[in-house]
C-alpha cells in the first residue's frame, strides 16, 4: 500500500525569497520525500511593486504578494494548482514551462491552444503528475502578460540526482528584465503603425531574484547548487560570479555531464543549474553580475543600466564591491558543447521535416508582424485541443485547425526535424512545449539558410545537446530533432514575449487520435469557456457541421499591396 502525503501550501506561509533562497530550500527539505499531492492555492491579484527602486507599478501578484512563490515539488508528485483570477479587469492562465504534461496535455496552460482564458472572478485547477527532475518555471500564457509579474520558478527536487553527493545546499536564482510600464500599453505601441520596424520596447532595468539588492550568504568550503532561471520577457543575460567558477550540471531540466564555465548566457526562458564551491577565505565578498544582451535592443536609452549586481557574501561586515570587470565582447559557455547525462544518442532519420523561415514584415495595418514562412499566428475561435477532441477522424487533417494556427499534425512516435532559418538579424530563443529536443545542428551568426550551408548528417553530434529552449543566431540556422512520443497540442514559438504577440508561433498537433482516446476535459475547464463565451467544439472557425469549412476563421490584417 502506498501512502500519499497531502501538502497544502499557501504562499504567504513561505519565507521570503529575496536573498533567502537557501532558506526556502531548507524549509522544503523538511518534508518527507515520497510521492505526494502538493497543492497550491493561488489567488491572482494586482499588487504594487518597485523592485528596482525607480517606479511603483501595478504588478501581478499571488495571494497579495510579489515576487510570486517558487513552486517546489519532488519527482513523482502530483501538483495541484487552484487558480482564482481576482485581477478584476483581465483574463489569465498558467503554463508550467518545460514540464511535458504527459497524459495531461489539457493542463499545459496556453490560452486558445489547450484551454480557454480564465476570466476575472473565475476558478481553474491545474492538476498533473510531475515526472521530470530539474529547474523549471511557471508563467501566464495569455495577452503577453507574464512580464507584468506573473512568472516564477518551479523546482522539481530529485532525491536521486546524480550530483547529490557534490553539493551541500541549493540556491534558486532568477534573472529578469523589468519594465516600468504595463504590457498592455507597451504592446499596443509595439503592434502599431507608429512602430513600423517592430522595435521591441527596451526594458528599464535588470533584476536578480526580483530585486537589485540580492545577497547570497555563503559558508567557506561548502558547495552550492545554483538553479538559475531567466524569467524575463525579452533580454538574454550574461551571468558570471566574480572569483568563482561554475560547473554546469543541468540545462532546462536535462542533466548534463559536468562542464566548467566562467560565464553563462541565459536567453528568456532558459534555465541552468551549476555548482559553485565557496572559497575558504572569508575576507571579501564577490559580485554576482547579470548583464542584459544589448544586441537585442534597437536603441540603448541613455539612462539604462543593463547590468544588475548581487553578492556572494562571506562576511556581512565587509563591503559589497561593484563589478571589477565588465566584459566586451562577452565570451559565455557555448551550450552546444553540453553532453546530456543520459548519453542519449542522435535519434534516427526524421519521418517528418518541418522547415520554418523566420521573417519580420509589415501588414496592411502598418504594424510589424513575425512570420514562420508566410504565416503569422492568429488564435483560433476554438482552442486547438478542443478541436482535436471534437473532430473525430478529421482530427488528423491539419485543415481543421485553420491556416493561422500554423498547424502540423505529427503521428505517434514519428521522429521530427524542425529546420529553422533565421532571415532576421535578431537572436530568437525558440521553445517547444511538451518536449526537450536534441539540438543536432546550430550555425554561427550570418550563416544563411540550412539548405545553403552544405551541412550533412556527418556534422551532427553523436550525443546531441538537449534542452527545451535554444537560441537561433542572427541570420543563422539550426536543426532540432525530437520523437513525437507525447500526445498533445504543443506550441512552438520564440520566447521573446513581443514576438509571441507579433505571431512567431506554430502549433504541433501530436497524435490527435491518441488524445481522443485518453483525454477528458474537466468540468471547471469547460466552465471558464462558457463564462468567456468561447466555443469548445468545432474547427478553428467554430464550425462543427462542415469540418473543412473554415469560413469565419480569424485572420491577420491583409498584406500591403505589392509595389
Query: What is the contact surface with ligand C2O in residues (CB under 6 A)?
Result: 95, 97, 110, 139, 141, 269, 431, 433, 491, 493, 495
- Nearest residue to ligand C2O, using CB? 97
Residues in the chain: 563
- Omega of the bond leading into 67 within 30 degrees of 0 (cis): yes
Q: Dihedral of CA 433/437/440/445: which sign?
A: positive
3-state secondary structure of 457: helix
Q: Which long-range contacts (CB under 8 A, 24 or more apart) does 323-328 make?
A: 323/242, 323/287, 323/289, 324/242, 324/287, 325/242, 326/289, 326/291, 327/238, 327/240, 327/263, 327/291
Rounded distance between C-alpha atoms, residue 84 and residue 556, angstroms: 32
Contact 390, 544 (CB under 8 A): yes
Minimum distance from residue 452 beta carbon to ligand C2O (Å):
30
Minimum distance from residue 274 beta carbon to ligand C2O (Å):
21
Q: Are strands 223-230 and 169-178 parallel, antiparallel or unpaired?
A: parallel
Contact 57, 107 (CB under 8 A): no
- Number of Cβ within 10 Å of residue 290's Cβ equals 27
Minimum distance from residue 89 beta carbon to ligand C2O (Å):
23
DSSP state of 449: -
Give whole-number Cα distances, 322 to 235, 264, 279, 312, in Å. 22, 19, 19, 12
Contact 532, 116 (CB under 8 A): yes
Q: Dihedral of CA 95/96/99/102: which sign?
A: negative
In 405-536, alpha helices (H): 497-501, 512-518, 523-532
Residue 232 vs 310, nearer CB to ligand C2O: 232
Rounded distance between C-alpha atoms, residue 178 and residue 53, angstroms: 12
DSSP state of 187: H
Residue 229 vs 415, nearer CB to ligand C2O: 229
Contact 339, 463 (CB under 8 A): yes
Residue 95 vs 541, nearer CB to ligand C2O: 95
Residue 69 vs 147, nearer CB to ligand C2O: 147
Query: To 5 degrees, how large is the angle CA 186–CA 93–CA 359?
Result: 50
Minimum distance from residue 97 beta carbon to ligand C2O (Å):
4
Query: To 5 degrees, how large is the angle CA 104–CA 412–CA 433?
Result: 45
- Number of Cβ within 10 Å of residue 483's Cβ equals 18
Residue 276 vs 509, nearer CB to ligand C2O: 509
Instruction: Name the grid cell of 155.
Output: 523546482
Amino acid at each position: 500500500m502506498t501512502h500519499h502525503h497531502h501538502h497544502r501550501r499557501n504562499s504567504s506561509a513561505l519565507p521570503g525569497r529575496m536573498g533567502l533562497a537557501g532558506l526556502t530550500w531548507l524549509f522544503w527539505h523538511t518534508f518527507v520525500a515520497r510521492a505526494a499531492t502538493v497543492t497550491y492555492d493561488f489567488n491572482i491579484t494586482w499588487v504594487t511593486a518597485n523592485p528596482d527602486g525607480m517606479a511603483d507599478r501595478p504588478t501581478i501578484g499571488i495571494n497579495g504578494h510579489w515576487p510570486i512563490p517558487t513552486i517546489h515539488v519532488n519527482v513523482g508528485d502530483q501538483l495541484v494548482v487552484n487558480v482564482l483570477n481576482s485581477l478584476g479587469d483581465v483574463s489569465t492562465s498558467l503554463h508550467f514551462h518545460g514540464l511535458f504534461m504527459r497524459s495531461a496535455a489539457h493542463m499545459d496552460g496556453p490560452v486558445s491552444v489547450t484551454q480557454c482564458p480564465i476570466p476575472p472572478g473565475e476558478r481553474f485547477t491545474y492538476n498533473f503528475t510531475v515526472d521530470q527532475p530539474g529547474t523549471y518555471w511557471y508563467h501566464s500564457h495569455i495577452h503577453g502578460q507574464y512580464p507584468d509579474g506573473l512568472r516564477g520558478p518551479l523546482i522539481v527536487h530529485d532525491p536521486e540526482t546524480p550530483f547529490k553527493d557534490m553539493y551541500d545546499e541549493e540556491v534558486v536564482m532568477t534573472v529578469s528584465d523589468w519594465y516600468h510600464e504595463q504590457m498592455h500599453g507597451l504592446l499596443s505601441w509595439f503592434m502599431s503603425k507608429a512602430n513600423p520596424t517592430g522595435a521591441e520596447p527596451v526594458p528599464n532595468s535588470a533584476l536578480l531574484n526580483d530585486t537589485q539588492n540580492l545577497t547570497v550568504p555563503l559558508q567557506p568550503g561548502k558547495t552550492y547548487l545554483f538553479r538559475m532561471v531567466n524569467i524575463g520577457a525579452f533580454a538574454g543575460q550574461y551571468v558570471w560570479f566574480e572569483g568563482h567558477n561554475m560547473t554546469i550540471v543541468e540545462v532546462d531540466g536535462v542533466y548534463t555531464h559536468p562542464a566548467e564555465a566562467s560565464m553563462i548566457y541565459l536567453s528568456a526562458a532558459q534555465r541552468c543549474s551549476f555548482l559553485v564551491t565557496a572559497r575558504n577565505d572569508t575576507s571579501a565578498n564577490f559580485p554576482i553580475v547579470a548583464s542584459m544582451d544589448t544586441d537585442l535592443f534597437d536603441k540603448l536609452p541613455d539612462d539604462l543600466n543593463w547590468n544588475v549586481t548581487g553578492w556572494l557574501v562571506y562576511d556581512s561586515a565587509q563591503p559589497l564591491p561593484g563589478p571589477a570587470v565588465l566584459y566586451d565582447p562577452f565570451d559565455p559557455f557555448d551550450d552546444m558543447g553540453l553532453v546530456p547525462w543520459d548519453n542519449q544518442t542522435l535519434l534516427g532519420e526524421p519521418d517528418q521535416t518541418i522547415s520554418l523561415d523566420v521573417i519580420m514584415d509589415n501588414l496592411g495595418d502598418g504594424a510589424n508582424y513575425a512570420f514562420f514562412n508566410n504565416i503569422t499566428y492568429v488564435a483560433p475561435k476554438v482552442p486547438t485541443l478542443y478541436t482535436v477532441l471534437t473532430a473525430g477522424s478529421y482530427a488528423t487533417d491539419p485543415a481543421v485547425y485553420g491556416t493561422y494556427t500554423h498547424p502540423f499534425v505529427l503521428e505517434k512516435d514519428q521522429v521530427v526535424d524542425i529546420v529553422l532559418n533565421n532571415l532576421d538579424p535578431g537572436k530568437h530563443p525558440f521553445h517547444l512545449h511538451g518536449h526537450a529536443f536534441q539540438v543536432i545542428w546550430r550555425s554561427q551568426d550570418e550563416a544563411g539558410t540550412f539548405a545553403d550551408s552544405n551541412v550533412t548528417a556527418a556534422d551532427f553530434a553523436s550525443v546531441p545537446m538537449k534542452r527545451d529552449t535554444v537560441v537561433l543566431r542572427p541570420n543563422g540556422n539550426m536543426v532540432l530533432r525530437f520523437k513525437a512520443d507525447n500526445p498533445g497540442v504543443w506550441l512552438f514559438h520564440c520566447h521573446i514575449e513581443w514576438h509571441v504577440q507579433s505571431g512567431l508561433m506554430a502549433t504541433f498537433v501530436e497524435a490527435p487520435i491518441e488524445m481522443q482516446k485518453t483525454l477528458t476535459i474537466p468540468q471547471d475547464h469547460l466552465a471558464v469557456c462558457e463564462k468567456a463565451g468561447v466555443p469548445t467544439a468545432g474547427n478553428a472557425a467554430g464550425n462543427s457541421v462542415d469540418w473543412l469549412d473554415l469560413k469565419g476563421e480569424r485572420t491577420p490584417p491583409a498584406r500591403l499591396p505589392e509595389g
